[in-house]
Amino acid sequence: MQADSPAKGEHGAAPVTDPGATADTFPKLLIHNARTRADRPAIRHKDLGIWRTWTWAEIFENVREFSVGLETLGLARGDKLAVIGSNRPRLYWAMCAAQGLGAVPVPIYADAVAEEMAYVLEHAEVTVAVVEDQEQVDKILSISGRLTGLTFIVYDETRGLRDYDHARLKSIDGVQERGRDTLARDAAAASRWDASVAAGKGGDLAVILYTSGTTGRSKGVMLSYDNVIISARNGNLFDRLDADEEIIAYLPLAWVGDHIFSYAQSYVAGFCVNCPEAPETVAEDRREIGTTYAFAPPRIYENLLTLTMVRMEDAGAVKRRMFHFFINHARKWGEKILNKEPVPLWARLVYRLGDILVYGPLKNRFGLTRIRVGYTAGEAIGPEIFRFYRALGINLKQLYGQTEASVYITAQPDGEIYADTVGKPNIGVDVKIDDTGEVLFKSPGVFAGYYKDPEKTAEAKTPDGWVRTGDAGFFDPKTGHLKIIDRAKDVGKLNDGTLFAPKYIENKLKFYPNIREAVAFGDHCDCVTVMLNIDLAAVGSWAERNTVAYGSYQELAGHPLVYDMIAKHVIEVNRSLAEERVMAGAQIRRFLILHKELDADDGELTRTQKVRRSFIAERYEPLVRALYDDSTQADIATEVTFEDGRKGVIAATVTIRDVVPAPVAPVLGKAA
Amino acid sequence: MRAPAAGDQAAREILLSMENVSLSFGGVNAISDVSFDIRKGEICAIIGPNGAGKTSMLNVINGFYTPRQGRITFKGVARAKMRPYEAAERGIARTFQNVALFRGMSALDNIMAGRTLKMKRGLLWQMLRYGPAMAEEVEHRRVAEEIIDFLHIKDIRKVQVGRLPYGLQKRVELGRALAMEPELLLLDEPMAGMNLEEKEDMSRFVLDVNQHFGTTIALIEHDMGVVMDLSDRVVVLDHGVKIADGTPDEVKSDRNVIDAYLGVAH
């Protein structure tokens, strides 16, 4: 990779003649790192309250033992190995161990119910499943009747599994021990493994990632080593990431983002990945580590901000005033300082003081004190939220990517940050917009195809190598950045012909901390209506301050005062829509607040927390109907799935409110 | 759901034996002439209507009350009188109907407090936190951390327990009892005031404690569903008298028990 050489100078950790740059598979990169960075930390895991660190040399040993152990269980080249669980060192090792044998890891969303898991395990013809704990073992055992190809389940956490039938069940410890024994006993085993690694090529299939899919069955995206490694290398180059970065791995293993950031980029750059103790402790763990490179969907940043604001409302008067004063100052000047624009001296001095009193402690709380690059992706982020973090001096940027692209399509370069764009094409990526407004790209990361689905592959990939993203967007003439409006197939029209982009409206609503989720309807209808979910933390705190009594989420959601408050937000959204010529006709006329939170377990959200609009329209059909007749109330009974898989029914009467649309402003010449 | 050991019930060694125990407060007989055994490794539920003498029974077992008459044999040693701290030293731990934690301390510190009896170094050594005392503290901390991991309360390790919701406080209390590495664990209504999900979590933990650490458990519980699912054996008290003793199925179909719970036409 000659492309590596420029622009690396100032960090200098990766020399220009880095032989690692020629390593074209993960096991080769591991061997390279174990040789050149033997004593540097490669991965950490907080266990029993203590951070434990493994160096590159140590993980090499672990992966090799694991790999040879898996070989004794019969795992062979081309076999599929499922990886199910949270972000733990040994699950990452499982991926590399499989790849060492030429087998293909298939990470699966750990919170998927058994039924969803069965589909992927069956479709991918998985022969060995490496899982975190008893919970996952139970899930697989419950569907094992259908999984004829599955030979072994290998688990990390032994608790609760002692009394299980161990004919097909192995612990990772046990497998590694088999590997260690084999390596000690048989001198040829190590060289056989080396040969197996050497036989791997960049063009080989590296991983199959099943997309969570807003519609229908998930598809298995096949990525080659070249796809993943070249993309990761370009990503590192784009943000000048080197071996000194610290990141925290907490997003699902099955998500392409985690695969690139916590696995590929770490192996390529040699930086350290930190595995949190538990999903609930991520914020605390992040604070202890002080990550330098972070990646999160907007939701995470939203939650952090909502929590901060809620806490500040409860703080003493002095603290609160100090907070608001400096935050306002930061909103005005912070971003300019971050972008290195000219700023008056007094503003700099006040900002410096604010850094000591407010911004610093806040960033410390967020665990973002040492952050160099932070990305948000997956969904649009609220401009207010985005600017808040940037005002604090956190270099938060936007990125647009897809599993089919090995993440990177566009990203914002440092210093060119806008709240409403997703940036410029990444290194090595070409982007074009077709006549229908759909975004297409071509890059080294373009996926090999959907596993066992040539039809779908042909739909997504044009014969000349472009990939359809399914997103509608355009290049902003002012900045040259790409802007995404919505999923191309979701963009519809009202009966009067007005353009209806549901996500655009939903996002505007969701930018209010009180609104957690929004679903807009309007395609082939006379007007736009929305279903809303309130945010329990934000509205709950508001209720406490305004002495609104409530016993449950349902009661709070239906409270007239809550409706009044939400109605104000809807009116503000209408006002902002009215300012945009294209969108002015698509203002919200009626809304309702849903009695329950939309949930992935009920199929209402995808596992990556995106709303499944058509499913919701079907499920809440009586409510949708009521939104479009004149009724002010509607009854609804829905089946819900509890966390343990049992089902129950929630019945409720939901109120519907009318909203007066804002007057459409005369043409201001403002682009949408 | 339970381990397949149910068949050899009778063969299991007796851990605690109560023989003709009676307890009275003034003229009120709280417990009259009750005898039963708790065998090693089992989960034994003590149930009964309000005022049946269940909590009194636990208090007798861990030495808080001294029975008027009767014999209590724990690990083969009979005793007439025992103070609660002696019971604790001999391996009996308990939780309370109303959570009794150090509210101002963190979850971790509360659990560490459960290790007090296991600490060998004196107060001065511990204050110095040096050398052997430090090594000892590290070891105790490891045990406490394993319990925290076991009970899934990693995220509240450093939170003041007074600020925690009730269900979590109960879990921390269970953690503190476990920190004593007891042979016999007494749980006084571990699921009182919990919602369904919390109850299921707690049931899971009780079963896990029993299986994982092999701890013998005696529990009082009002939720019959929980009792029937969890326990190997059920002892039923009514007005201080034992009216039934057997497997959940036996007890469920026992005439006396049905009468006690549903009332009898006189």
Residues of A with a Cβ under 8 Å from any B Cβ are 47-50, 159-160, 162-163, 277-278, 280-281, 284, 642-644
Query: pLDDT at residue A17 above 60?
Result: no
Average pLDDT over residues A408-418: 91
Query: Of A278, A642, A643, which is closest to B155 when you measure between CB atoms?
Result: A278
Query: How far is B197 from B220, CA to CA, in rounded Å?
Result: 19
Query: How far is A225 from A229, CA to CA, in rounded Å?
Result: 6
Q: Is residue B263 in some structural domain?
A: yes
Query: How far is B191 from B167, CA to CA, in rounded Å?
Result: 8
Q: Which two tokens stand for residue A369?
A: 């004190």
Under the banding of pLDDT at 50, 70 and 90, the label for residue A636 is confident
pLDDT value for A582 = 67
Interchain contact, A281 vs B211, CB within 8 Å: no
Total tally of structural domains belonging to chain B: 1
Cβ-contact A207, A105 below 8 angstroms: yes
Cβ-contact A258, A29 below 8 angstroms: no
Q: Which residues contact A132 (CB under 8 A, 6 or more apart)?
A: A84, A85, A86, A88, A91, A110, A155, A156, A157
pLDDT value for A670 = 41
CB count in 10 Å sphere of residue A525: 17
Query: What separation, in Å, do the N-terminal and C-terminal C-alpha atoms of chain A show?
Result: 41
Nearest-by-CA chain B residue for A159: B212
Query: Of A162, A163, A280, which is closest to B154 when you measure between CB atoms?
Result: A280
Q: Which two tokens stand for residue B158?
A: 């450093």
pLDDT value for A669 = 43
Query: How far is A257 from A377, CA to CA, in rounded Å?
Result: 9
User: For a pLDDT cut of 70, what percent of chain A falls above it?
Assistant: 94
Cβ-contact B245, B257 below 8 angstroms: no
Query: How far is A173 from B52, CA to CA, in rounded Å?
Result: 50
Q: Is residue B24 in some structural domain?
A: yes
Q: What is the mean pLDDT of chain B?
A: 86
Q: Which residue has the tokens 């279903």?
A: A531
Residue type at position A511: F
Q: Is residue B259 in some structural domain?
A: yes
| Residue B214 CB-density burial (10 A; 0-12 exposed, 13-18 middle, 19+ buried) | exposed
Residue type at position A197: V
Query: pLDDT at residue B7 above 80?
Result: no
Average pLDDT over residues A521-544: 90
Output the CA torsion sign for A548, A554, A557, A561: negative
Query: Of B3, B142, B150, which is closest to A163 when you measure between CB atoms?
Result: B3
Query: pLDDT at residue A27 above 80?
Result: yes
Interchain contact, A280 vs B148, CB within 8 Å: no
Question: Three-state SS string across A73-132, please?
Answer: CCCCCCCEEEEECCCCHHHHHHHHHHHHCCCEEEEECCCCCHHHHHHHHHHCCEEEEEEC
Query: pLDDT at residue A130 above 80?
Result: yes
Average pLDDT over residues A292-303: 88
3-state class (DSSP) for residue B69: strand
B interface test, pick of A45, A46, A48, A601 with most B CB neighbours within 10 Å: A48
Beta strand segments in A368-481, E: 373-376, 396-402, 407-411, 424-425, 430-433, 438-442, 449-450, 467-475
CATH number of B17's domain = 3.40.50.300
Q: What is the helix (H) or strand (E) element at residue A240, kind and residue range? A: none
Query: pLDDT at residue A155 above 90?
Result: yes
The DSSP line for A508-543 is HHHTSTTEEEEEEE-TTSSSEEEEEEE-HHHHHHHH
Q: Which two tokens stand for residue B178?
A: 């476990």
DSSP state of A552: S
Under the banding of pLDDT at 50, 70 and 90, the label for residue B265 is low
pLDDT value for A4 = 39
β-partners of residue A51 are A46
User: For a pLDDT cut of 90, what percent of chain A falls above it?
Assistant: 61
Under the banding of pLDDT at 50, 70 and 90, the label for residue A7 is very low
Q: Which two tokens stand for residue A441?
A: 């790209």
Q: The domain containing residue B76 runs over which residues? A: 1-81+218-266
What would the pLDDT profile of B27-66 be if each residue is shown by its tens digit? 888 898 999 999 999 999 999 888 888 889 999 998 888 8
Between B26 and B189, the higher pLDDT residue: B189
Interchain contact, A284 vs B208, CB within 8 Å: no
Least confident of A2-16, A125-139, A437-451, B56-70: A2-16
Q: Which residues contact A109 (CB under 8 A, 6 or more apart)?
A: A116, A210, A212, A252, A254, A255, A607
CB count in 10 Å sphere of residue A577: 23
Cβ-contact A574, A664 below 8 angstroms: no
Cβ-contact A275, A422 below 8 angstroms: no
Query: What separation, in Å, do the N-terminal and C-terminal C-alpha atoms of chain B show?
Result: 40
Residue type at position B91: G
Query: pLDDT at residue A206 above 90?
Result: yes
What would the pLDDT profile of A597-619 be if each residue is shown by its tens digit? 888 878 888 877 778 888 898 99
Under the banding of pLDDT at 50, 70 and 90, the label for residue A311 is confident
A interface test, pick of B141, B148, B154 with most A CB neighbours within 10 Å: B154
Q: Is residue B174 in some structural domain?
A: no
3-state class (DSSP) for residue A48: coil
Distance from CA of A228 to the nearest CA of B (A): 34
Q: Is residue B137 in some structural domain?
A: no
What would the pLDDT profile of A226-274 be if each residue is shown by its tens digit? 999 999 999 999 999 999 999 999 999 999 999 999 999 999 999 999 9
Per CB-CB distance under 8 Å, the chain B contacts of A47 are 149
Domains present along chain A, CATH in parentheses? 24-225 (3.40.50.12780), 492-658 (3.30.300.30)
What would the pLDDT profile of B111-148 be if each residue is shown by its tens digit? 999 988 887 777 777 777 777 788 888 899 999 999 99
Between B10 and A280, the higher pLDDT residue: A280
Cβ-contact B116, B93 below 8 angstroms: no
Question: Three-state SS string across A148-163, please?
Answer: CCCCEEEECCCCCCCC
Number of alpha carbons in the 13 Å side-chain half-sphere of residue A331: 11
Query: Is residue B154 less than 8 Å (CB to CB) from chain A?
Result: yes
Query: Is residue B148 less than 8 Å (CB to CB) from chain A?
Result: yes
β-partners of residue A635 are A653
Query: pLDDT at residue A593 above 50?
Result: yes
Query: How far is A212 from A94, CA to CA, in rounded Å?
Result: 22
Beta strand segments in B75-155, E: 77-79, 92-95
Query: How far is B147 from A406, CA to CA, in rounded Å?
Result: 41
Interchain contact, A49 vs B152, CB within 8 Å: no
Q: Which two tokens stand for residue A663?
A: 């007057």
Q: How many CB pairs under 8 A join A and B?
A: 34
pLDDT value for A20 = 61
Among A650, A544, A634, A672, smallest CA distance to A597 is for A650
Query: Is residue B147 less than 8 Å (CB to CB) from chain A?
Result: no
Highest mean pLDDT among A50-64, A410-424, A601-615: A50-64
Q: Which two tokens stand for residue A64?
A: 């090799």
Cβ-contact A323, A315 below 8 angstroms: yes
Interchain contact, A281 vs B152, CB within 8 Å: no
The CA–CA distances, whole Å, from A165 to A121, A161, A168 equal 21, 9, 7
Q: Is residue B178 in some structural domain?
A: no
Per CB-CB distance under 8 Å, the chain A contacts of B155 are 278, 280-281, 284
Q: Which residues contact B237 (CB under 8 A, 6 or more apart)?
A: B31, B34, B46, B47, B48, B52, B53, B54, B57, B243
Cβ-contact A592, A567 below 8 angstroms: no
Distance from CA of A295 to the nearest CA of B (A): 22
Q: Is residue B39 in some structural domain?
A: yes
Q: Which two tokens stand for residue B45?
A: 């539920």
Query: Is residue B149 less than 8 Å (CB to CB) from chain A?
Result: yes
pLDDT value for A490 = 81
Query: Is residue B118 less than 8 Å (CB to CB) from chain A?
Result: no
CB count in 10 Å sphere of residue A7: 12
Interchain contact, A642 vs B155, CB within 8 Å: no
Distance from CA of A280 to the nearest CA of B (A): 6
Query: pLDDT at residue A382 above 80?
Result: no
CB count in 10 Å sphere of residue B92: 27
Least confident of A16-25, A149-158, A353-362, A430-439: A16-25
Distance from CA of A49 to the nearest CA of B (A): 7
The CA–CA distances, whole Å, from A471 to A53, A369, A468, A487 equal 41, 35, 8, 4
The DSSP line for A477-506 is TTT--EEEEEETTT-EE-TT--EE-HHHHH
3-state class (DSSP) for residue A439: strand
Per CB-CB distance under 8 Å, the chain A contacts of B153 are none
Q: What is the mean pLDDT of chain A?
A: 89
Between A360 and B26, the higher pLDDT residue: A360
Query: pLDDT at residue A15 above 50?
Result: no
Output the CA torsion sign for A302, A303, A308, A309: positive
Phi/psi zone of residue A49: left (φ > 0), alpha (ψ -120 to 50 degrees), beta?
left
Residue type at position A373: V
Q: How many helices (H) and strands (E) does chain A have?
A: 23, 28
Under the banding of pLDDT at 50, 70 and 90, the label for residue A579 is confident
Distance from CA of B179 to the nearest CA of A (A): 15
Average pLDDT over residues A457-465: 92
Q: What crossing angle do the helices spanning A383-391 and A317-338 adopt, rounded to 10°?
A: 90
For B79-87, the CB contacts below 8 A with 24+ separation are B87/B61, B87/B62, B87/B63
Dihedral angle over CA of B98, B99, B100, B101, nearest 10: -170
Interchain contact, A49 vs B200, CB within 8 Å: no
Interchain contact, A163 vs B212, CB within 8 Å: no
Query: How far is A114 from B82, CA to CA, in rounded Å?
Result: 52
Residue type at position B203: S
Cβ-contact B30, B54 below 8 angstroms: no
Query: pLDDT at residue A214 above 80?
Result: no
Under the banding of pLDDT at 50, 70 and 90, the label for residue A504 is confident
Q: Which two tokens stand for residue B65?
A: 């009350």
Average pLDDT over residues A650-662: 88
Per CB-CB distance under 8 Å, the chain B contacts of A642 are 197
3-state class (DSSP) for residue B115: coil
ipTM above 0.90, yes or no: no
Q: Is residue B199 in some structural domain?
A: no
DSSP state of A605: B
What would the pLDDT profile of B87-119 be if each residue is shown by its tens digit? 888 899 999 888 889 999 999 999 999 988 887
Interchain contact, B149 vs A643, CB within 8 Å: no
